[in-house]
A = this chain, B = another copy of it.
Amino acid sequence: MKEREVYLENVSLAEAVDRFFVDLEESGALRLTGAEVVSVRQALGRITAEPVFARISSPHYSAAAMDGIAVSAKDTFGAGEKNPVRLKEGVNFHYVDTGDPLPPGCDAVIMIEEVHPLGDGEVEIVAPCSPWDNVRGIGEDIAAAELVVPENHRLRPQDLSAILAAGHTAVRVRKKPRVAVIPTGTELVNPGEPLKPGDIIESNSAMISGLVEEWGGEALVLEKAEDDFELIKRRIEEGLSAADVVVINAGSSAGSEDYTAKCIRAMGELLVHGVAIKPGKPVVLGRIAGKPVIGIPGYPVSAYLAMELFVKPIVYRMQGLPVPGRHKIRARLSRRVVSSIGTLEFLRVKVGRMGSEFIASPLSRGAGVIMSVVRADGIVRIPESREGIESGESVEVELLRDREEIENTVLMIGSHDVTIDLLANELKRLYPEITLSSAHVGSMGGIMALMRGETHMAGLHLLDPETGEYNLPYIRKYLAGRKVVLVNLAYRQQGLMVAKGNPKGIRGIEDLVREDVTFVNRQKGAGTRILLDLKLKELDIDPGRIRGYGKEEYTHLAVAAAVAGGMADAGLGILAAARAMDLDFVPVAPERFDIAIPHEFYPMDSIQKVLKILRSEEFKRKIESLGGYDTSRTGELIGGD
């Protein structure tokens, strides 16, 4: 057995934050970045490092505020409808345009619309004016020495204009905090390089840099380091000399090749190693040479959370800015979630507005599933003191997307099909304000989501063994008394996906029991699983005889991927998935894939737009081009009760 670090600590998030930030504060490691002078034109979004006081007034002279004639007000006294006053150009008045300086002797401007020209350089007016009428006095907008914007102010477009008008051409702003990012791991390969088993694409640093930039910092990604104590130490030194903060990605746990904590301990102060959060437990918080050094986990979701919790406050505080909070809403949790006492869990959820309330549906909880962050609308914190959250409980959701965007999201929970991705894309393309957000939980999962009122639509392909009919029998049974509209998405071919060239010569379901064949299954409740079980029953095959019957995947593509990766020899799925993974396909049965929409959601504008797309020839053509689909009834209402 290789040498291992002692086990991780398990301090609470509150304690970790306290230990880390109090240390940084007291040791002066959170100081503001220095200032630099930039041209006002280049200063958008930058933070002022000192107050900006006006150098000059704006306007800097008395100016006409209207197009019209400049006059001396006393020449107009007594003017009226019955007593018009005549004025002579060059003697009693001068034409002025907005912004012109007031000619000597003039103290007011009369709007051109109120001036009646008489010819020969004479005009008539029928109302008097007062001194300073329609005149912008010096400093009316900005008075010299006035505060234009204070220190610690993020410069907006209107501020730039005001600062220029106040006589400045440059402005002192804070330097952006620099964050050095060190990707570590012998298994890392750069994007685009060839991959072998065990290799991991170095994708985290793009996310880490992106977060730093969104927070107003500057990211400096150093060359990746293999798992080697001396090499990582050297990189940390490089980072410290070039940046204000150092982030080491991965090697943050206590495994035999985890060097982050060891390096920090050797070079400075190790403050925390291991926080009771999920995901993100193996985080390392330290300080070297008066600068914060953070080791963040390799799993992308853990990395994302560790950045949010520990690096974001540093980047903001170094700019002199408050740390912005996320917008929050209350939602009802759609399903029970069990969690561990003593651990604060960050649950990613999809959120949809279902009538008058928001419903939050949990996404994959794996720390390795970056797609759960890509797909998430928000995060729910399950406190350390709780064993979980009950279905239907009201929770607070920290939003990752705009509330407006969430209000315009159509939720589709149920079975997965490649055409749903197509539909989502088509909707976003044609109606950018609407988002189709799909979660893949199988057809029965879709029925359950409809029952719980947690989705606007569900994708279903449930064959009833008794009647041979699709979907309607299930809706009648599980959603009795509810009005549901059923619309056809497409007919699709189900079949066995096998390796290219079908090396094991699999010809149908009956071959799955062969000793040399390993199968990969879909989860219980998936329409494809029901189809398989029906076929097995028809053929009188005991599922226990199939190797791999117990290994379940949640999507066609995941099953295809398992076959493509050699983990299994066959899996039941659709032609599109087989093609996507370059697999061969042994047809088993065609099936109908429908979309069920509760009657109350049917009139929604967004749902009507979905239907419009389903019925367009363009969309049908796109489905057909995938292969294995029949769109002759796509968009058609399926008759039921």
Interface residues in chain A, defined as those with a beta carbon under 8 Å from any beta carbon in chain B: 1-2, 4, 7, 40-41, 44, 51, 53, 56-63, 65, 67, 89, 95, 97-101, 112-113, 117, 121, 123, 131-132, 136-153, 156-162, 164-165, 167-169, 185, 187, 191-192, 195, 197-204, 206-211, 213-214, 253, 255-257, 298-300, 304, 320-322, 324-325, 366, 368-371, 373-374, 402, 404, 408, 418, 421, 424-425, 428-429, 432-433, 550-551, 553, 555, 557-558, 560-562, 564-565, 567, 576-577, 580-581
Contacts and interface: CB of A to CB of B under 8 A. Distances in A.
Nearest to A2: B95
Given A98-B253, A158-B304, 7 more contacts: A101-B197, A137-B561, A141-B369, A141-B370, A143-B560, A146-B557, A161-B206
A432 B322 contact: yes
A132 B41 contact: no
A210 B163 CA distance: 13
B149 A198 contact: no
A146 B421 contact: yes
A512 to B, nearest CB: 17
A253 B111 CA distance: 13
B368 A136 contact: yes
Given A57-B565, A373-B158, A374-B148, A553 B322 contact: no
A57 B137 contact: no
A157 B425 contact: no
A195 B56 contact: yes
B160 A210 contact: yes
A384 to B, nearest CB: 20
Copies in the complex: 2
Ranked nearest first, the 7 interchain pairs of A and B with the lowest CB-CB distance are A157-B210, A145-B580, A139-B561, A143-B557, A322-B433, A164-B203, A161-B207
B141 A368 contact: yes
Contacts of A58: 201, 370
A211 B555 contact: no
Contact of A374 (B136, B158, B257): B158
A68 to B, nearest CB: 9
A56 B53 CA distance: 56
Contacts of A151: 425, 428-429
Contacts of A577: 145
Nearest to A551: B132
A581 B210 contact: no
B298 A432 contact: no
Contact of A214 (B44, B61, B324): B44
Contacts of A421: 51, 53, 146-147, 150
A264 B44 CA distance: 31
B99 A138 contact: no
A139 B279 CA distance: 19
A255 B98 contact: yes
A137 B520 CA distance: 11
Nearest to A405: B322
B320 A374 contact: no
Contact of A138 (B60, B158, B562): B562
Contacts of A59: 200, 368
A204 B164 CA distance: 9
A142 B369 CA distance: 8
7 contacts: A1-B95, A59-B368, A101-B197, A112-B255, A137-B565, A153-B428, A164-B201
B40 A191 contact: yes
A193 to B, nearest CB: 9
Contacts of A198: 61, 63, 99-101
Given A136-B368, A145-B580, A157 B207 contact: yes
B370 A143 contact: no
A550 B101 contact: no
A448 to B, nearest CB: 23
A297 B623 CA distance: 50
A321 B299 CA distance: 32
Contacts of A551: 131-132
Contacts of A4: 112
Contacts of A147: 421, 424-425
A160 B206 contact: yes
A157 B215 CA distance: 11
A359 to B, nearest CB: 22
Contacts of A139: 553, 557-558, 561-562, 565
Given A164-B206, A558-B143, A137 B67 contact: no
A210 B156 contact: yes
A423 to B, nearest CB: 10
A211 B137 CA distance: 28
Contacts of A373: 158
